[in-house]
A = this chain, B = another copy of it.
């Protein structure tokens, strides 16, 4: 973790470079540090997956509005302040990346962080993490 899922209306496709958005979100999270200056998240556990929805309904359906929902799932144990800094860092990237699209149409973007909601089991199987010992 963090595990980020971006769900968005497909009408935003022409206006957004989604692989680039995924990358800047990952970078924003990887750059976070805790109160002691140590990395807040593991590089090898950071991933962002984006999914356009081709069937959708937004608001009252009048006008070709867009929506983008960004969910960041993290493991438990980080301070509220560091969680807020992480969310704000993602928000800042999102505002920059969506600036042009916002000039063309009405769009709602929501960013939420969930801390291991209802989690009762957690397992990893990875040859990726060892690459990033820091």
A residues near B (Cβ < 8 Å) are 1, 3, 5-9, 18-19, 21-23, 25-26, 30, 43-51, 53-61, 63, 65, 67, 69, 72, 74, 80, 83-84, 86-88, 91, 94-95, 98, 102, 106-129, 131-132
Contacts and interface: CB of A to CB of B under 8 A. Distances in A.
Given A123-B88, A127-B102, A49 B59 contact: no
A123 B132 CA distance: 30
Total identical chains: 3
Given A113-B121, A119-B114, A49 B56 contact: yes
Given A3-B110, A72-B121, A115-B119, 15 more contacts: A9-B49, A22-B57, A26-B58, A45-B59, A47-B58, A48-B57, A50-B53, A59-B131, A63-B131, A65-B128, A83-B120, A107-B128, A108-B128, A111-B124, A115-B118
A82 to B, nearest CB: 10
Given A3-B110, A118-B118, A59 B94 contact: no
12 contacts: A3-B110, A5-B7, A9-B49, A22-B57, A46-B59, A48-B58, A49-B69, A83-B120, A86-B121, A88-B123, A91-B125, A113-B119
Contact of A118 (B47, B55, B117): B117
